[in-house]
Structure 1
Amino acid sequence: VRKRDNIVGMEGSIISHPRTWKASGHLDNFNVNDYLVVCTKCKKSSKIDRPNLGKIKCDSCEGEYDWQNAKMIEQMFKTSIGALNPMEAYLRGETAQGMFLDFKLIQQTSRMQLPFGIAQLGRCFRNEIAPRDFLFRSREFHIGEFEFFIHPDEKKCDLLNDEHLNTKFMFLDEETQKSGSDKLKEVSMKELLQKKKLEEWHAYWLAEQIKWFYSIGLSKIKIREHTKDELSHYSSATFDIDYLFPFGSLEMAGNASRGQYDLTQHEKESKEDMSIFDEKTKTKIIPRVIEPTFGMERVFLAVLTKAYSYDKDRDNIVLRIPAKLSPIKAAVFPIIKNEEYERIAQKIVDNLREDYNIVYDRSGSIGRRYARNDEIGTPMCITVDEKTPEDESVTIRDRDSTEQIRVKIKDLNDVIKKIINGENLLKLGKVVDTRVK
């Protein structure tokens, strides 16, 4: 978001008026899509999606479900506002509606012109009857969403380039799913456009998501097209982005074409004009919307499972998180407990903390300190040693290779920035041979 001129961020309210969710269609659609059923054999309660009613058996014992007594689940969390005459309200089930409600105000105050987007990352709530599967069935979670607004008549995407068109990925289309198969095939975004699976703006944002996942090392992804009977009430085309976790392929992100549905519905319910003046066409219009969505905990879990490894040579865990994603960018150590070394190390920490999240550690052997930081994914360790007082230089150890270079203290900030941006550490200073790796 920060790197784009055509997107602004916001933070909306968690508690919403019922009319918000009536207008969005969630009360009429979201709350009738899932049902509680009980197995006649083992008596286990399960949540079943509407398309699967009457079609599947108990996942625990293969018994038959009591379909006749299936009970609709209200997925929206209810709460109340006020003390004397409490008013019914809901906890948000998605962040999107806050962006639609504030769309016109944000467009006016930010002076954005179409096409532009609004982004939000926040906590959402769903009334799961049986939270399970770790992060995949939980009652509260974080979603990162973009709502990208486009002129309804604009079909051409000027941002779509050859890199987007040539982006390749594994794909499961609607036709294959309806045939009863789950066979994947590698396709390019250009092929999906040619088959009219999506339009150009949708292709652009889906390709941007795929490229971003590839850039953080998550290459084991597949794109699954939603079949017509599972599309959400607001969507004309939706794609799941699934990741191959060690325990199976599961959804971690998605992308939907919401059209003009949300803004039109809020205009109808509120009687407020949701149209904006388009400078290009000199007309008032209600934009259509493309929505890339990220399940933040799921993405984080994918990064962790990809990064986790056990190094036999070191005999410890190494969390190989890309440096740009690591919460701690560097650790600083004095090689031994020495007042002068500790003073220099602390000064380095104080200077670097202006720009990065840095940890300072002076307890235990240097090897033990390296191992501790390997386990939490710290990409580099900076050591103040016997040469530091002489020439104002320190060593930087690379987490993944254990190779070390020596650089001047005054150059540390610049070197760290280059390492975070993906440059090879060994090319940024003099390579040194050390006893402890």
Structure 2
Amino acid sequence: MVLSLLMGKWGGMSQREVTLDELTDLCLRRGFVFPSGRIYGGLSGFFDYGPLGVELARNVLNDWWRWFVETRDDMYGIDGAIITHPRTWEASGHVESFIDYIVVCEKCGTEYRADHLLEDLGIKIPEYTAETLKRLIEEHNVKCPACGGRLSDPQRFNLMFSVEVGPRKSMTAYLRPETAQLIFTNFKNVVFSMGATLPFGIAQIGKAFRNEISPRNFLFRLREFTQMEIEYFVNPEKLDDCPRFGDVAGLEVNMLTAEDQERGIGEARKMTLGEAVEAGIVKSKWHAYWIGESIKWLHGLGLRPERLRVREHVKTELAHYAVQTFDVEYYFPYMGWKEIEGIANRSDYDLKRHIQYSGEALHIVDDGKTVVPYVIEPSFGLERIIMAVLTDAYVREEKRTLLKLKPKIAPYKAAVFPLVKRDGLDVKAREVYDKLRRVVRCYYDEDGSIGKRYAKADEIGVPFTITIDGQTLTDNTVTIRFRDTKQQVREHVEKLPEKILQLVNT
């Protein structure tokens, strides 16, 4: 019976889709995130996690680490420095080509990212060059959205933050714009220290920094954000030698191919990853495997399959290092389809560039042959994942708003309430809370009516609320209320921690 109460759709459809304003209001009001430096007016592109946000983020990160690292025997973790040797970014190509194009209003001085201006007007960009952007702005007579003024020609703008290292500023370095390069520069260290053999991966979670021209859409495009990245190293002659492929071959995904996009088709097709490999859409089994593992993890967070699609990059957007790239996109009702993860076949580009610039031998022996491995890279953005999770979980019913978060990632797993703050119920409730908080993250609340306390718990995604009432004092049982159904069952206090832990892990 308890299981049937629990098994409501954690991310069920709401009668009306959440708006970006509603989501932002909830996050600010309930302490998920705050604008950084808010007392001074805030700083665009920077947010601080509040008490609920830091718990949610930590739970998502821990779940990612368990899924992709702890439960595997072919994965190693590192935690690279935010500032590293600047030659790293010369070798990677970031110093030369990590750019966007900026246009400036000649009347009011407002700066814009050129491609965003065009995309907001529904104008497709066939090629990301200064010449193409200039031509499209002129052809469509695009003006400054703020004042209607004329826009300058697009100019290159490097997105890296530079810093001076040392008291005499003897070296210009950079805040890392991605975590991936720290994995490549530590490749030899991991192989030597851990005795790693192909195929294997290196995973990292950490901050990245990009001086975005126009941060926007709340947490979606930030100047400081958290990445979760894997570089998975494979012998280039064994890209289809994937013994784990059977784990994902039957997984059905919504696939939007580059060929379909170039033909003007915008609708994804349902197919299994096995079919995608057989049809040559995904060019290797290892690439398809990591697409599947990523989708399975996202499903486990509660994201609905119909709101996820796998979109292949067309030739004009393919990065210089990539053989093939797919984005996992989520459908945000207020933004449309947006990338929350990229999965690229980066070939041997990065390791060979670092070999060239460092002079180090970044190779590995496999089957008696010295090889520079190819790399499959799943790369997630934490804040985008959180936006997707909150969007999917947000439900507005007739008399309440709730977040149908999966219990394993909910900031608080439970809340403990005395029915009223008298007659000894508050004392007993404190006793129950003290037992429960040793097992799961929970909170205690005795202020206001029980209805208002339930409403607050629902709105911040607490899956289970425990109420201490008059019957508790006679038989030592409490009620467990299930957030999604509002139904209740009674449980003995001595069995409560075990029961809640069981429900959280179901």
TM-score in terms of structure 1 length: 0.88
Query: RMSD value over aligned CA atoms?
Result: 2.6
Q: Does 1:290 align with 2:370?
A: no
Residues 251 and 272 of structure 2 are in contact (CA less than 8 Å); yes or no, is this contact kept in structure 1? yes
Letter in 2 for 1:252: I
Q: Does 1:4 align with 2:84?
A: no
| Matches of 1:255 and 1:211, distance apart in 2 | 14
Q: 1:195 pairs with 267, 273, 279, which one?
A: 279
Correspondence for 2:324: 237
Correspondence for 1:366: 450
Deviation, 1:177, is 1.9
1:88-140 per-residue CA deviation (whole Å, 9 max, x = no partner) reads 00011111111111222223333433222221222111111222232333211
| Unmatched runs of 5 consecutive residues or more in structure 2 | 1-68, 116-127
Q: Helix, strand or coil: the match of 2:402?
A: strand
1:120-168 per-residue CA deviation (whole Å, 9 max, x = no partner) reads 222111111222232333211111111112223223100111x512222
| Matches of 2:494 and 2:237, distance apart in 1 | 55
Deviation, 1:75, is 1.2
Correspondence for 1:348: 432
Kindly indicate which of the two structures has a greater share of residues assigned to strand: 1
Q: 1:227 pairs with 314, 329, 333, which one?
A: 314
| Matches of 1:351 and 1:285, distance apart in 2 | 56
Distance change (3 Å), C-alpha of 1:253 and 1:381: same
1:283-339 per-residue CA deviation (whole Å, 9 max, x = no partner) reads 443322111111111111111111111221xx2211111111211111112222247
| Matches of 1:61 and 1:54, distance apart in 2 | 10
Distance change (3 Å), C-alpha of 1:36 and 1:349: same
Residues 253 and 271 of structure 2 are in contact (CA less than 8 Å); yes or no, is this contact kept in structure 1? yes
Further displaced range: 318-327 or 334-343: 334-343
Further displaced range: 221-230 or 54-63: 54-63
Correspondence for 2:136: 56
- Runs of 4 or more above 6 Å deviation: 39-43, 58-61, 64-68
Residues 230 and 379 of structure 2 are in contact (CA less than 8 Å); yes or no, is this contact kept in structure 1? yes
| Matches of 1:76 and 1:16, distance apart in 2 | 13
Letter in 2 for 1:95: T
Q: 1:139 pairs with 209, 212, 223, which one?
A: 223
Deviation, 1:235, is 0.9
Q: 2:406 pairs with 322, 347, 354, which one?
A: 322
1:330-384 per-residue CA deviation (whole Å, 9 max, x = no partner) reads 1112222247433433333333333321111111222111111011000000122
Correspondence for 2:416: 332
Distance change (3 Å), C-alpha of 1:320 and 1:55: farther
Q: Helix, strand or coil: the match of 1:387?
A: helix
| Matches of 2:187 and 2:297, distance apart in 1 | 26
Distance change (3 Å), C-alpha of 1:113 and 1:385: farther
Q: Does 1:37 align with 2:103?
A: yes
Kindly indicate which of the two structures has a greater share of residues assigned to helix: 2
Further displaced range: 409-418 or 87-96: 409-418
1:166-193 per-residue CA deviation (whole Å, 9 max, x = no partner) reads 2222222111222233232222212220
Distance change (3 Å), C-alpha of 1:268 and 1:350: farther
Distance change (3 Å), C-alpha of 1:109 and 1:395: farther
Deviation, 1:40, is 7.8
Q: Helix, strand or coil: the match of 1:204?
A: helix
Letter in 1 for 2:350: D
| Matches of 1:407 and 1:277, distance apart in 2 | 59
| Matches of 2:143 and 2:91, distance apart in 1 | 39
Deviation, 1:58, is 8.1
Q: Helix, strand or coil: the match of 1:132?
A: coil
| Matches of 2:138 and 2:294, distance apart in 1 | 35
Deviation, 1:409, is 2.1
Q: Does 1:302 align with 2:388?
A: yes
Residues 23 and 265 of structure 1 are in contact (CA less than 8 Å); yes or no, is this contact kept in structure 2? yes
Correspondence for 1:274: 362
1:205-225 per-residue CA deviation (whole Å, 9 max, x = no partner) reads 001111222232322011111
Residues 223 and 241 of structure 1 are in contact (CA less than 8 Å); yes or no, is this contact kept in structure 2? yes
Residues 254 and 292 of structure 1 are in contact (CA less than 8 Å); yes or no, is this contact kept in structure 2? yes
Residues 106 and 151 of structure 2 are in contact (CA less than 8 Å); yes or no, is this contact kept in structure 1? no
Letter in 1 for 2:352: T
| Unmatched runs of 5 consecutive residues or more in structure 1 | 423-437
1:173-192 matches, cutoff 5 A: 173-192=257-276
Q: Helix, strand or coil: the match of 1:244?
A: strand
1:248-289 per-residue CA deviation (whole Å, 9 max, x = no partner) reads 1111111001122212211221112222344xx144433221
1:242-281 matches, cutoff 5 A: 242-247=329-334, 248-278=336-366, 281=367
Residues 325 and 342 of structure 2 are in contact (CA less than 8 Å); yes or no, is this contact kept in structure 1? yes
* Larger RCO of the pair (alpha carbons < 8 Å, separation 6+): 2
Letter in 2 for 1:381: T
| Matches of 1:392 and 1:58, distance apart in 2 | 75
Letter in 2 for 1:322: K
Q: Does 1:14 align with 2:98?
A: no
Residues 165 and 189 of structure 1 are in contact (CA less than 8 Å); yes or no, is this contact kept in structure 2? yes
Correspondence for 2:113: 47
| Matches of 1:195 and 1:5, distance apart in 2 | 30
| Matches of 1:417 and 1:30, distance apart in 2 | 46
| Matches of 2:443 and 2:318, distance apart in 1 | 47
Letter in 2 for 1:53: L
Letter in 2 for 1:393: T
Residues 7 and 118 of structure 1 are in contact (CA less than 8 Å); yes or no, is this contact kept in structure 2? yes
| Matches of 2:370 and 2:431, distance apart in 1 | 58
| Matches of 1:107 and 1:351, distance apart in 2 | 45
Q: Helix, strand or coil: the match of 2:237?
A: coil
Letter in 2 for 1:302: A
Distance change (3 Å), C-alpha of 1:234 and 1:302: same
Distance change (3 Å), C-alpha of 1:348 and 1:104: farther
| Matches of 1:195 and 1:39, distance apart in 2 | 48
Letter in 2 for 1:289: V
| Matches of 1:113 and 1:78, distance apart in 2 | 36
